[in-house]
Structure 1
Amino acid sequence: MQVFWQLRWYFRQEWRRYGGAIAIFVIIAFFELIPPRAVGWIVDGVVEGQMTINTMLMWLGGLAAMWGLVYVLRIVWRLWLFGSAAKLGTVLRDKLYRHFTRQAPNFFERHKTGDLMARSTNDVNALVMTAGEGVLTAADSLITGLAVLLIMTTQLSWQLTILALLPMPVMALLVSRFGSQLHDRFSESQAAFSALTDTTQESLNGVRMIRAFGLEQRQQAAFEKVVDHAGEKNFGVVKVDAKFDPVIQLTIGMSFFLSVGGGAYLIHQGELTLGDLTAFTLYQGLMIWPMLAIAWLFNILERGSAAWKRLQEILEQAPTIVSGTQALPDTRQALDIRIEAFSWPQQRQPALQALAIQLPAGQMLGLAGPVGSGKSTLLALLLRQQELSQGKITYGGVCIRDAVLEQWRGRFAVVSQSPFLFSRSIAENIALGKPDASLDAIRHAAGLACIDEDIMLFPEGYNTLVGEKGITLSGGQKQRIAIARALLLNAEILVLDDALSAVDGKTEHRILHNLRNQPQRQTVIVIAHRLTALEQADEIVVLQHGQVSERGKHAALLSNDDWYAEMYRYQKLEQAIEEGQ
């Protein structure tokens, strides 16, 4: 019953529906106590010759009307109860989604996507069943069971009731033991399902790579092992599950045997009438479902308890990046970056150190450097995906650690080297940040990103479905659609994280020229390996080993004849060779 206590917050929230459903169930339980006793009176009346046809028809008519009312009441309370249980699934999934979106990237490094999906589906479904079927079986077994026992004890024969209950302690002991086994087995099966979901997700995402390397058979064999493991764990649950029903059925059979044998003896002694025994066995029939419900209840509660434990493991992991409370200025402001040192967890060497950058509003900053120089680290700190402890980043005088996190991230539009596109139309992907944007606004943003002409070549134009992750588009087209999406958002700070790597030099120049000539210039941060993308930057900062090695405008850096100039000449030579082939 512990899981009911753990879900008390939701029962308090939906107390009207749950309270109303249980109240109706009590009324139904009261009505169901009438037919067995009425049948007993009818049997005694027939045996004694005192029951007329009219009286019998009146009894039967009354019972039929009562059953009709019970039918309607059952529909009502099921709608209330199971409606509330279904709502719990929505509440938990919304809660999980909000929790996921507040987490830092290291959270998703610890938990695989498949595992999170399994917890959001199977585990939530187990709790929905607990809040629905679990409450039903608990109420049924307690209310009906206790009411029937009370009638059997006080109105018929307490001696016969004790005799019928003799097998119950054995059943309770075995059911409790099986319940503990089920809890452990179900936890293992859910963990196996998480592994299966994660393997499936990775295999589908990497299907191109698997085919390219000819690894289909090897991947199939590995997948079969995961499937077999999940099947074994599920079969372990089924084996424990299968033990419940035989115990219950044997208990019911033994109880009926003792009742009929003991009842016959009491009739022979004149302490019980045939009608009383008939009523007693009918009441005992009403006890069959509560007895079965007890086993089913243990099953549901153990599954729910295991599922709740798995969800709590996720929900109790508080976000490492906490929002501040200070509101940001309404107008565009300068960005001041001062980093004394920053190291990634489990790394001794600082990823960034002694870095100072001032970026006025509307200016373009270029970031260059070899792989591992700290460019992506700087972006993670800017977006507060990682926390800076030694140093300070301010925006208009407000430290970003003190700013409202949602407001701060809302000032950015980031385009990465490998942008993510949803399985929707091109127009919907561009309008992701502004779902109500008009087609003219969407086309204007696409024009600035130099993708409008390509889109119009598709038979369905902007209504073209791009497929999962934009699989129907080329890398350059995906990048330019992502740039159009960012431009439509018109955020204060636009970050192009090597977002022009898949387009040719001419298109790259046109896109950057369009950015520079917008009526209301955005603050732009361009991170690039191809240095031609930085030619129009107001300042270029070159990072090496986490430190600033060069800084200045494009022309000045070329005259320094250092890493930037050497790499620029190399890339120009490479481009000339490619064009000459």
Structure 2
Amino acid sequence: MKVFLKLGWFFKERKRQYVIGLLMLMLVAILQLVPPKIIGYTIDEIGQGTLTKAKLFTLIGIIAAVALVMYGLRYYWRQMIFGSSNYLARVLRQKLHRHFTRMSPSFYQKHRVGDLMAHATNDISAVQQTAGGGVLTLFDSLTTGGFVVLAMAITIDWRLTLIALIPMPLMAFSTTYYGKLLHQRFHYAQAAFSDLNDKTQESISGIKVLKTFGQQRQDVDDFTRLSDEVVDKNLQVAKIDSLFDPTISFVVGISFMLSLGFGTKFILEDAMSIGDLVTFTTYLSLLVWPMLAIGMLFNIVERGSVSYNRIERLLNEPIEIDDKNNAITRMPSGDLAFHIDSFTFPGDKEPALHNVHFDLKRGETLGIVGKTGAGKTTILKLLLREFEGYNGQICFGDYSIMDYQTLKLREAIGYVPQEHFLFSASIFSNVAFANAEATIDEVRAAAKLAYIDHDIMEFTEGYKTVVGERGVSLSGGQKQRISIARALLMKPELLILDDSLSAVDARTEEAILHALKEERKDSTTIITSHRLSAIQQAHVIIVVDHGTIIEKGTHEELMALKGSYYEMYQLQQLEQLVEQGGDGHGE
């Protein structure tokens, strides 16, 4: 029952709705005591021969009126209680989503997407049931059960009432024991569902790779194994869940047996009438629901408790990248100063960067080159403030990037990552993602700079073309250029292209770079690339190796050094000659 205490914040927020709903529920519990009493009274009147036609119609009218009032009350208490539980689901989803958007990349390294989705679906649904069905069964079982027992003891016979309640401790013991088992097994069931959810998401996202390598059968086998595990874990839950109703039915059966046996004895002793016994057994049948509700309550509450604990663990994970008090609320602009003595990723032992120092004037272009894993993207991640905990300082304009609001910092940066993510929407929506109020002319202007406008206009629906999930219907080069157009539409103070021209041909690359040079004369640009042709015109080029800068200068200065940059350039020139020679030989 601790889950109700944990949800206290929500019950306070929806106090009015719950109070109204529970009061209506209480009135229903009281009103449903009326028909059994009238039935017993009618039977006694028949037995005594004193029932008249007028009295019969009056009694029927009372039952009909009570039924109509109960109808209305049941309609409205459902709106109050179940409406509130739906509101809770919305609040928790919003909290989770808001939390997810504020978390740093390290959070997503620890948690799989499928598991996070399971928290936002199955777990929230279980908590919603607790705030709806759980509150209903708890309050209804207490009020209905309490009023029925009082009616039996006060209006009929207190001795028979005590006798009928003799089996109740057995039910209380059994349901408590079942509840403990249910809590443990439901936790395993939810964890298994998270694994299955993650596998499903991964399989669908990687379907092209699976088919390319012919691994469909193995993937199906893995899915089947996880699916069987989910079924097995849920069957373990169902085995415990299925014990509640038989146990309660057994207890109720004993109560009926005791009531009929001792009730008959009391009738023979003239301690009560036949009508009283009929009323008593009718009341006893009303106790069946509270007893069943107790079983349902343990089921609902234990599921909700497990799920809420899982949600709480996520929400309690600290936000690693957060704004400081009195953070600067304007977008940064000006020169860029990057001075990092050392930086180590969380959980790693060796530093990812060490002794990385460079300055970039506003309006200049920085080129970063190096082998795969040399640390190029790590530099960008620190610039974007995706990670902290480094020794050194990064300044944008006159202030450290940590002094700015994170949102304002990232609004000043147009970032085109290596892995291009496009939404399942129109091309127009994808380009205008960061500026929902952009016009078609503005979107086309950005697309022209990225040399993708011509391709888009050749599509059947032009900018209205829906690209499919993750841009599945586009080529790699088209996705890259749409991502560049999206960043350019922001007119960012700092544009970062993280190896974002790798899928375009040399001629298109040259055209894009020339357009950027003309368009962004007064804005700063950083380009990382394996192809040196992409950064030859940069004002400053740094060569990164094993997390540190080994060479720095212009293209001409680095060529004159005849070091690593020179070797990379000569090798790429040779590769280009080989490719051209191959084409010429083929002709």
Same fold (TM over 0.5): yes
**Corresponding letter in the other structure for 1:544:** D
- State the number of aligned residues: 581
Structure 2 equivalent of residue 358 of structure 1: 359
1:420-449, CA deviations, whole angstroms, 9 ceiling, x for partnerless residues? 111111111111111221111111111111
What whole-Å deviation, never above 9, does each CA across 1:380-412 have from its counterpart, x for those lacking one? 111111114310112222222232222222221
The aligned residue for residue 93 of structure 1 is: 93
**1:114-513 → structure 2 map (5 Å cutoff):** 114-325=114-325, 326-330=327-331, 332-513=333-514
Q: 1:157, CA displacement in angstroms?
A: 0.5
Shift of 1:282: 1.4
**1:361 CA displacement:** 2.1
Provide closer, same or farther for how the CA distance between residues 266 and 348 of structure 1 changes in structure 2, counting only shifts above 3 A. closer
Aligned equivalents of 2:285, 2:438: Cα separation in 1 = 65
Q: Counterpart in 1 of 2:3?
A: 3
* Alpha-carbon distance in 1 for matches of 2:520, 2:530: 28
Quick check: 490-499 or 317-326, which moved more?
317-326
Matches within 5 A, 1:31-42: 31-42=31-42
Which sits farther off after the overlay, 272-281 or 124-133? 272-281
Distance of 1:92 and 1:526 partners within structure 2: 40
Counterpart of 1:545 in structure 2 is: 546
- Deviation digits for residues 431-475 of structure 1 (CA, Å, limit 9, x no counterpart): 111122111111111111100000011111111111111111100
Match for 1:11: what amino acid? F
Range that drifts further, 526-535 or 367-376: 367-376
Closer, same or farther: CA 273–346 of 1 in aligned 2, 3 Å: closer
**Structure-2 separation of matches of 1:70 and 1:349:** 71
Segment drifting more, 476-485 vs 221-230: 221-230
Query: What CA distance in whole angstroms lies between the structure 1 residues aligned with 2:178 and 2:350?
Result: 54
Q: Is 1:535 matched up with 2:517?
A: no
Q: Say whether the 8 Å CA contact 2:321–2:385 is kept in structure 1.
A: yes
Q: Aligned partner of 1:128: which letter? A: Q
Q: Residue 311 of structure 1 aligns to which amino acid in structure 2?
A: I
Relative to structure 1, is the Cα distance of residues 519 and 219 closer, same or farther in structure 2, using a 3 angstrom cutoff?
closer
**1-structure distance, mates of 2:498, 2:35:** 76
Q: CA RMSD in A?
A: 1.4
Q: Residues 331, 520 of structure 1: CA spacing in aligned structure 2 closer, same or farther, 3 A cutoff?
A: farther
Instruction: Describe the superposition over 1:95-130 as per-residue Cα deviations: whole angstroms up to 9, x where unpaired.
Output: 111111221211111111111111111111100000
Write the deviation string for residues 139-158 of structure 1: whole angstroms up to 9, x where unpaired: 11011111111111111110
**Range with greater deviation from structure 2 (68-77 or 510-519):** 510-519
Specify the alignment match of 1:19 in structure 2: 19
In structure 2, relative to structure 1, the CA distance for the partners of 1:520 and 1:277 (3 Å cut) is: farther
Distance 2:544 2:565 in 1: 10
- Checking the alignment, whether the CA contact within 8 Å between 2:354 and 2:547 is kept in structure 1 is yes
2-side partners of 1:389 and 1:216: how far apart? 43
Rate the CA distance shift 1:278–1:349 in 2: closer, same or farther, 3 A.
Answer: closer
Indicate whether 1:46 and 2:61 are aligned: no
Counterparts of 1:220 and 1:519, CA distance in 2: 50
Give 1:415's aligned amino acid: V
Q: Which one-letter code corresponds to 2:64 in the other structure?
A: A
1:424 is paired with a residue whose SS is coil
- Give ranges in structure 2 of 5+ residues lacking alignment: none
Cα distance, 1:347 vs. partner?
3.8
Counterparts of 2:122 and 2:144, CA distance in 1: 31
What's the CA shift for 1:330? 4.9
Checking the alignment, whether the CA contact within 8 Å between 2:331 and 2:412 is kept in structure 1 is: no
Task: Check conservation: 2:123, 2:311, Cα contact below 8 A.
Answer: yes
Range moving further from structure 2, 124-133 or 31-40: 31-40
Three-state SS of the structure 1 residue aligned to 2:251 is helix
Shift of residue 159 of structure 1?
Answer: 0.6
Q: Supply the distance in 1 between the matched residues of 2:154 and 2:179 (Cα, whole angstroms).
A: 33
The alpha-carbon distance between structure 1 residues 226 and 424, as it changes in their structure 2 partners (threshold 3 A), is: same
Instruction: Tell me if structure 2 keeps the 8 A contact 1:528–1:534.
Output: yes
Report the residue type matching 1:394 in the other structure.
C
Rate the CA distance shift 1:76–1:328 in 2: closer, same or farther, 3 A: closer
Cα 1:143–1:348 shift into 2, 3 Å: closer
TM-score (norm 2): 0.96
**In the superposition, relative to structure 1, how do residues 255 and 520 fare at CA in structure 2: closer, same or farther (>3 Å)?**
farther
Shift in alpha-carbon separation, 1:347–1:180, aligned structure 2, 3 A: closer
Contact 2:332 2:397 in 1 (8 A): no
Kept after mapping to 2: 8 A contact 1:175/1:298: yes
Task: Give secondary structure in 1 for the equivalent of 2:403.
Answer: coil
Letter of the structure 2 residue corresponding to residue 560 of structure 1: L
- Measure how far apart 1:93 and its partner are: 1.1
Distance 1:186 1:331 in 2: 50
1:519-572 alpha-carbon deviations (Å, 9 max, x no partner): 774321111111111122121111122222211222222222221122122212
CA positional deviation for 1:172: 0.9
Which shifted more, 274-283 or 468-477?
274-283
SS, match of residue 279 in structure 1: helix
Give the counterpart letter for 1:515 in structure 2: L
Q: CA deviation at 1:329?
A: 4.6
Residue 437 of structure 1 aligns to a residue whose secondary structure is coil
Please give the per-residue CA displacement for 1:296-341, whole angstroms capped at 9, x wherever unaligned: 0011011111111111221221122222232155562222111111
Identical pairs, percent: 44
Could you say what secondary structure the match of 1:494 adopts? strand
